[in-house]
Chain A
Amino acid sequence: MTAGDTKVPGEDNAFKAFMSALYRTVDAPVTWFRESIVEPNQQKYPWYHQKYRRVPTIDECYTDDVVCDFEANAQFKRDRAVDSEILSILRQRYEDCMLYEAPDHLTVCKSLWDKYKDAEEAWFIKYGDLGGYADARKCYMKQKHRMIWEKRNGPLSNQTK
């Protein structure tokens, strides 16, 4: 950039200057209202993300202990939600990379894609195909069946080695 270059990157030609001026006709009053009236008057106080204690899982519960079963189920649902969000974050990373790097995203974003695919496979091995009434017990039984199958037929995938 030379010293005589005073144009803002978004307004370096007449069309872009016009479009950003058009945007500012709506944005400027709203921003002014927020910065001068709203933000000085707002109170600052915290909120937190809840941390749940780990409770015994379904394999540590007696068969007739409904309370233990209920708590293990609640923990299973929380863990599944957290794992789903992690998978979603990995997918978003790959998608952002793909949008930015297209059309050569297949080579540039490959590491992100591989990580996402591994995570997706692991998620499916653990939580997939459990149905609409998924339970901690059903997931445990799925793991048991998978282990029996692996004992007979060798490892299922790279994620379970």
Chain B
Amino acid sequence: MVSWSALGRSFGISLLKNQGTKPIVVQNVKLSTNKALFGGHEHKTMPLQPSRWQYIKFKDMFHYYTLVGLIPVGLIIFYTNVFIGPAQLEPIPDDYNPKHWEYHRHPITRFIARYIHNSPQQEYEKFMHWIDEEQQRVKLRQLEKEIQAKMAERQDYQAYYYRPMVNKYLRIEKKISEEMQERIGDDYKD
């Protein structure tokens, strides 16, 4: 806030006189662009009126949902129903295999089935492949369980406790340990 010292007062007065635009009053609120320069000079008022927030929000939402939602979607639906129209039911010709979207009647449903969704046959076969793979895993786990049960019962096979080894890293480690022993030596007292 600018405070009026005695030195700057004359400067402030000339500022006030040069830029004294009348503040605009809109719905009881004083709006002006240069209020900050003056600082506490005019009598500030807060308008005491009921909130207009709900009304403004309603207008926003109404405009949004009609202009972006209702009108474009309505136009698309009108166009497809009037100028394209639903299909006619016919028996399947003998030598023809219909595509999966040709089993729907309305053009928008056909569009969605053709360009957005996967074909039902594809989904069916994908699911069957997945459950077949899961079934193979189930069988493997069952077999493993049976084998372990038999080994536990008979106690005659140690294959379960065998960990497969790769000797390459053992050889490298052996070489390293020999090299280190040569350098450091061992703590062997005779």
Contact = CB atoms under 8 A, between A and B. Distances in A.
Given A44-B88, A70-B131, A49 B103 contact: yes
Interface string A33-57: 0000110011111111111000000
Contacts of B98: 48, 50
A47 B104 CA distance: 6
A47 B92 CA distance: 9
A46 B131 contact: no
A47 B89 contact: yes
A66 interface: yes
Contacts of B159: none
Contacts of A51: 92
Contacts of A67: 128, 131-132, 135
Contacts of B88: 44-47
A74 B128 CA distance: 12
Contacts of A70: 127-128, 131
B36 to A, nearest CB: 62
Contacts of B135: 64, 66-67
A71 interface: yes
A34 B134 CA distance: 55
A49 B104 CA distance: 9
Contact of A71 (B83, B87, B128, B139): B128
Given A64-B135, A64-B139, A66-B135, A47 B128 contact: no
Contacts of B85: 38, 41-43
Interface residues of A, number: 19
B83 A41 contact: yes
Nearest to B142: A64
Interface in B95-147: 98, 102-105, 110, 124, 127-128, 131-132, 134-135, 139
Interface string A20-39: 00000000000000000110
Contact of B103 (A42, A48, A66): A48
A42 B128 contact: no
A70 B104 CA distance: 25
A37 B82 contact: yes
B103 A50 contact: yes
B41 to A, nearest CB: 67
Given A37-B82, A64-B135, A64-B139, A48 B92 contact: yes
Given A42-B85, A47-B89, A66-B132, 4 more contacts: A38-B81, A42-B82, A43-B85, A66-B134
Interface of B: 81-85, 87-92, 98, 102-105, 110, 124, 127-128, 131-132, 134-135, 139
18 contacts: A37-B82, A41-B83, A42-B82, A42-B83, A43-B84, A46-B90, A47-B88, A47-B89, A47-B102, A47-B105, A47-B110, A48-B98, A48-B102, A48-B103, A49-B92, A50-B103, A64-B135, A70-B128
